[in-house]
């Protein structure tokens, strides 16, 4: 599917078809958290100064823990790359330390090349899970880094690029992930489309349709296909947003889809409870990901991104990854139909 030059783009505008991805073989059991090989391949991803070291064991002031506005203007063409962001996001590459909480699990994460999906993929691998990620082919360079970090944790990595706006591809994606991983225990519907538009008169039908197909239809198709593979003890986690509860004027289509994700999560959790499958959602606030400079915010708003939260800064993907770990782990066995927020003190839930 091609796109007119005047049509707004987004972080997850998928381009169609199942293309050849990266498949990393199973390595040794989960022991290492990082390696010199992966560090060389991925670069100094998102770590500097006070951010170094295991995040779970060091007490820090959350206000000053990560960069604060003002940020430089940094427009990117869709889909945007984490490697081009300034400052570069911290996805937990050298800060997340696992403890085997997901040992032997098999996870599929959409939008796993960067941002929140990347942070979840790294955390899951550090916790002992094998991980398949879906992403845009144009995001291959970011995806390669994720594969290296997963492998450095001693887990199997499967990379499957493609267009989740296609029902046929969504079915292929789930089948391929389950086949290559040897099963499926965790599904994270994370990929999303967001593009700032100030007026409904400027919001095109093409963008409206693409936003719903990416954020809502794909979640439905992928989850439906995954039911053939998910069994007792499985976990489905959907990425919603605080805008489901406090919709901003410039994200009319995006906010609607995030509200739909909340309703989808709560309804599906009631269907699947008797099967022993839990369904929850995470509602992030402002997080520093390529979604923002590639059209999710205007460049003027980007310079002050996160400044209006009580903590005065945007969240880093590494800061929300533990929520995805908790919801995937047996520790949250009594949590289903819930929405977990992480928004720096602002928004709901």
CB atoms within 10 A of CB 35: 15
Rounded Cα distance, 89 and 251, in Å: 23
Q: How far apart are CA 274 and CA 318, in angstroms?
A: 33
Active site residues: 254
Q: Are 288 and 69 in contact (CB under 8 A)?
A: no
Name the token pair of 11: 């972080």
Q: What is the rounded CA–CA span in Å between residue 23 and residue 254?
A: 32
d(CA 124, CA 145): 15
Neighbours of 27 (CB within 10 A): 17
Could you give the CA distance from residue 97 to residue 153 in angstroms, rounded to a whole number? Answer: 10
DSSP-assigned states of every residue in 283-342: EE-SB-STTIIIIIS-HHHHTTTTTTSTTSSPBPHHHHHHHHHHHHSGGGTT--S-EEEE
What pLDDT is stored for residue 214 in this prediction?
A: 97
Q: How many CA atoms does the CB half-sphere of 144 hold within 13 Å?
A: 13
Helix (H, G, I), strand (E, B), or coil: what is residue 243? helix
C-beta neighbour count of 262 within 10 angstroms: 18
Q: For the chain, where are the E strands, in sequence order?
A: 23-24, 106-110, 130-135, 157-161, 186-189, 235-239, 278-284, 339-342
- The pLDDT of residue 35 is 41
Q: 96, 321 in Cβ contact below 8 A?
A: yes
Per-residue pLDDT of the chain (349 residues; tens, 9 = 90+): 333 333 334 433 333 343 334 333 333 334 434 443 344 334 433 333 334 456 666 889 999 999 999 999 998 987 788 889 999 999 999 999 999 999 999 999 999 999 999 999 999 999 999 999 999 899 999 999 999 999 999 999 999 999 999 999 999 999 999 999 999 999 999 999 999 999 999 999 999 999 999 999 999 999 999 999 999 999 999 999 999 999 999 999 999 999 999 999 999 999 999 999 999 999 999 999 987 888 888 899 999 998 999 999 999 999 999 999 999 999 999 999 999 999 999 878 8
Task: Estimate the crossing angle of helix 115-126 against helix 317-328, to 10 degrees.
Answer: 50
Phi, psi of 159 (to 5 degrees): -115, 125
Compute the half-sphere exposure of residue 198: CA atoms within 13 Å on the CB side of its CA: 2
Asked if 303 contacts 23 with a C-beta cutoff of 8 angstroms, the reply is no
**Bond preceding residue 79 cis, omega within 30 of 0:** yes
Q: pTM of the entire structure? A: 0.85
Distance CA 292, CA 11 (A): 8
How confident is the model at residue 56, as a pLDDT? Answer: 61
Length of the chain, in residues: 349
Distance CA 171, CA 169 (A): 5
CA–CA dist 126, 322 (Å, integer): 11
Structural tokens at position 294: 């590639």
Could you tell me which of 209, 212, 112, 222 has the C-alpha nearest to residue 167?
Answer: 222
On the CB side of 141, CA atoms within 13 Å amount to: 9
Domains and CATH numbers, the chain: 64-342 (3.40.50.720)
Q: Which of 104, 72, 77 is closest to 88 using CA atoms? A: 72
């Amino acid at each position: 599917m091609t796109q007119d030059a005047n049509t707004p783009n987004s972080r997850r505008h998928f381009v169609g078809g199942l293309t050849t991805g990266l498949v990393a073989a199973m390595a040794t059991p989960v022991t290492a958290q990082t390696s010199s090989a992966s560090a060389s391949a991925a670069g100094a991803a998102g770590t500097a100064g006070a951010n170094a070291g295991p995040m779970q064991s060091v007490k820090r002031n959350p206000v000053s823990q990560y960069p604060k506005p003002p940020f430089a203007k940094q427009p990117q063409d869709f889909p945007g790359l984490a490697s081009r962001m300034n400052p570069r996001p911290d996805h937990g590459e050298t800060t997340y330390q696992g403890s085997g909480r997901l040992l032997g699990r098999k996870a599929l994460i959409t939008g796993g090349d960067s941002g929140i999906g990347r942070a979840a993929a790294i955390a899951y691998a550090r916790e002992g899970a094998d991980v398949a990620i879906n992403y845009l082919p144009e995001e291959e360079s970011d995806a390669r880094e994720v594969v290296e970090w997963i492998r450095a944790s001693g887990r199997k990595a499967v990379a499957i690029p493609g267009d989740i706006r296609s029902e046929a591809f969504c079915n292929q994606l789930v089948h391929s992930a389950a086949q290559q991983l040897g099963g499926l225990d965790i599904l994270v519907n994370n990929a999303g489309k967001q593009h700032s538009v100030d007026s409904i008169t400027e919001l095109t039908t093409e963008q409206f349709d693409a936003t719903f197909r990416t954020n809502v239809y794909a979640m439905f198709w992928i989850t439906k296909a995954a039911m053939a593979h998910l069994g007792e003890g499985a976990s489905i986690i959907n990425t919603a947003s605080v805008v489901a509860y406090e919709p901003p004027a410039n994200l009319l289509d995006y906010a609607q889809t995030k509200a739909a994700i909340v309703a989808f999560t709560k309804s599906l959790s009631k269907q699947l409870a008797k099967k022993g499958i839990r369904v929850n959602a995470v509602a992030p606030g402002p997080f520093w990901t390529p979604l923002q400079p590639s059209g999710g915010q205007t460049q003027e708003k980007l310079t002050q991104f996160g400044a209006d939260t009580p903590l005065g800064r945007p969240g880093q993907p590494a800061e929300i990854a533990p929520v995805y770990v908790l919801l995937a782990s047996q520790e949250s066995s009594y949590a289903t139909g819930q929405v977990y927020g992480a928004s720096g003190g602002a928004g709901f839930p």
